[in-house]
Structure 1
Amino acid sequence: MSRLLGVIDAATVMGGLQDLTLNRSVASIPFAGRYRFIDFVLSNMVNSGVSSVAIFPKHQYRSLMDHIGSGKNWDLDRKRDGLFFFPPYFEPNETTSIGSFARLEQHIEFFKRSHQDYVVIANSYVITNVDFEEALAEHLIHDYDITEIQHEGESLEMYVLSKSLLVELIENRRTSQFISVSDVVKQPLHSFNIGSYEHKSYTAIIDSIPAYFKHSMDLLGHAAWSQLFSLDRPIYTKVKDEPPTKYATNAQVSDSMIANGASIEGTVESSIVSRAVKIGKESVVKNCIVMQKSQIGKGCTLEYVILDKDVKVLDGTTLRGTAEKPLVLRKGSIREAAVAK
């Protein structure tokens, strides 16, 4: 039985990801063709033996609840422990920093009743494959009060601490002036023993559209893919029954990830194509991210473009961005060829 209780703080608001979060939370942003951001931290917890996970969302969390459901795909639909979803009460001026004590206080009885002695608190926008049990071992060996998980010296805003300390910090938040677990770690003037655990495997902190595009393209390389998706620590997601991808006779695909249910009649190069996407004849899609059920018509040219879900690009349209500033087509939008004047 794991000694760790999992807490996913999914209340983060990222201004740099606004084009992708108009209708969803950061935690439910699609990634790598068939996954969502939250799949990675949730799978990390399950692979670390965590059997009780609490998710604390704040904004636009309907799609997140739909994706996670009962937690069955992560083996968290249990009679004891399992998955807990705690939508927020109204809290004016509440911080969105990781491990907000005001947010956790609304459900403090959950922590008091849980039987685990330690807690791992994590965000949903760091894409990696980390073993939280190893971080806990480091925490115990050095007798830290709070252990911060880092990558190459940079904080991943993931923390391990004892449940008793967490409850104490929550109950004393009004007198201590600490507002969150991350606030405690960052403040220099206190008596807590703060330590770090260095995570060495591939890690992506996705806080902007350029970062989203860069780290998505990283997955087309073997090094990043093999570190993120390992056989002994799989990344789980919501299972959808889709037919195999259909490739037309003249279709050409190279250096790309294509999810099930797609229909490819054109050319796809160095791109990520999600489920049920349609790409028409004589269209060229290069260095693009195409999300679920988007449709690209005939004779289109797209380069460095991110298409959110259910986007339609009409016949003959040319769209180009750059690697540093990819063009984003928002969910459900329609783009057509410019009319010459």
Structure 2
Amino acid sequence: MSRLLGVIDATNLIEGLQDLTLNRSAASIPFAGRYRFIDFILSNMVNSGVESVAIFPKHQYRSLMDHIGSGKNWDLDRKKNGLFFFPPCFEPNENSSVGSFARLEQHIDFFKRSHQDYVFIANSYVITNVDIEEALAEHLIHDHDITELMSHDQSLEMYILKKSLLIELIENRKTSQFISISDVANQTLHNYNIGTYNHNGYVAVMNSIRSYFNHSMDLLDHSVWNQLFSSDRPVFTKVKDEPPTRYSAESVVTNSMIANGATIKGNVDSSIISRAVKIGEGALVKNCIVMQKSHIGENCTLEYVILDKNVRVLDGVTLKGTPDKPLVLRKGSVREMAVSK
């Protein structure tokens, strides 16, 4: 039986990703053609033997709940333990730091009833493949009160601590003035022993459109892909049955990721194409991210563009962003006139 209880704080509203979070939470932003942000931390937990995971959503979480469902794809649809969703209650002046004690206090009975001795608290917008069991072992060896996971001196905003200590911090939050687990880890005026666990694998912190675009393009490097998608620590996601992608005789695809169910009749270069995308004849899609069910018409030219789900680009349109400022087409939009940046 796992000694760890998993907690995913999916409440953060990241201003830099606003174009992609108008209709969804950051946790459910599509990534790598067929995954969502939350798939990575959730898979990290499952691969580390965590059998009970609590997800705390807040903003626009319908798509997140639809994606996760009962947790079946992560083997979390269990009669005992498994997956728990805790939608928020109203909390005036609630802070946005990871592991907010005010949010956790609303469901403190869950923590008191759970049988695990330790808690792993994480955000949903850091993409990595980390061995939480190894981090727990280091936490126990050094007898830390709180272990903060780090990568090259950067906090991953992931923490391990005893469940009893978490309950104590929650119950004493009004007298101690600590507002969250990240607040405790960053403070020095207390008697808690704060340690660190250094993770050396690839890390993507998704806090802006630029970081989202750059980290997505990183996946076209096989060494990065192999760090995130390891055969012994797989990344699970919602399964969708799609037919193979169809390529016309005139299509040309180079250095790109193409998901199932797409139809490619034009040219695709250094891009990430999601499920059921259609790219028309004579189109050029270069350095782009195209999300599910988007449709690019004939003789279009797109460079450094992010197309959210269900976007339509009509025939003959040219759209160009830049590497530092990619152009974002919001979910469900239709573009029929040329825009150049």
Which bin holds the TM-score, normalised by the shorter protein? Answer: over 0.9
Partner of 2:4: 4
Partner of 1:56: 56
Q: How does 1:184-223 map to 2 (within 5 A)?
A: 184-223=184-223
What letter is aligned with 2:174?
Answer: R
Moved more, 274-283 or 328-337: 328-337
**What is the DSSP-based 3-state SS (H/G/I as helix, E as strand, rest coil) of the residue aligned with 1:268?**
strand
Structure 2 residues not aligned, in runs of 5+ = none
Partner of 1:102: 102
What letter is aligned with 2:78?
Answer: R
C-alpha deviation, 1:274, in angstroms: 0.2
Q: How does 1:235-314 map to 2 (within 5 A)?
A: 235-314=235-314
**What is the DSSP-based 3-state SS (H/G/I as helix, E as strand, rest coil) of the residue aligned with 1:240?**
coil
Separation of aligned partners in 2, 1:336 and 1:152? 45
TM score, norm. by length of structure 2: 0.99
Partner of 2:42: 42
Separation of aligned partners in 1, 2:242 and 2:177? 51
**What is the DSSP-based 3-state SS (H/G/I as helix, E as strand, rest coil) of the residue aligned with 2:167?**
helix
% same residue: 76
Partner of 2:144: 144
Partner of 1:128: 128
Partner of 2:165: 165
C-alpha deviation, 1:147, in angstroms: 0.2
Separation of aligned partners in 1, 2:38 and 2:303? 28
C-alpha deviation, 1:267, in angstroms: 0.1
Separation of aligned partners in 1, 2:76 and 2:179? 30
C-alpha deviation, 1:158, in angstroms: 0.1
RMSD: 0.7
Separation of aligned partners in 2, 1:161 and 1:209? 32
Contact 2:99 2:182 in 1 (8 A): yes
> 4+ residue stretches of structure 1 with deviation over 2 A?
none
Separation of aligned partners in 2, 1:294 and 1:64? 20
Partner of 1:318: 318
Structure 1 residues not aligned, in runs of 5+ = none
Cα distance per residue 1:57-102 (max 9 Å; x no partner): 0110000000000000000000110000000011111111000000
Cα distance per residue 1:5-36 (max 9 Å; x no partner): 00000001100000000000000000000000
C-alpha deviation, 1:38, in angstroms: 0.2
Separation of aligned partners in 2, 1:222 and 1:41? 21
TM score, norm. by length of structure 1: 0.99
**What is the DSSP-based 3-state SS (H/G/I as helix, E as strand, rest coil) of the residue aligned with 2:13?**
coil
Partner of 1:174: 174
What letter is aligned with 2:261?
Answer: G
Separation of aligned partners in 2, 1:91 and 1:242? 42
Count of residues in correspondence between the two structures: 339
What letter is aligned with 1:131?
Answer: D
Partner of 1:25: 25
**What is the DSSP-based 3-state SS (H/G/I as helix, E as strand, rest coil) of the residue aligned with 2:201?**
coil
Contact 1:315 1:337 in 2 (8 A): no
C-alpha deviation, 1:338, in angstroms: 4.0
**What is the DSSP-based 3-state SS (H/G/I as helix, E as strand, rest coil) of the residue aligned with 1:120?**
strand
2:69 paired with 1:78: no
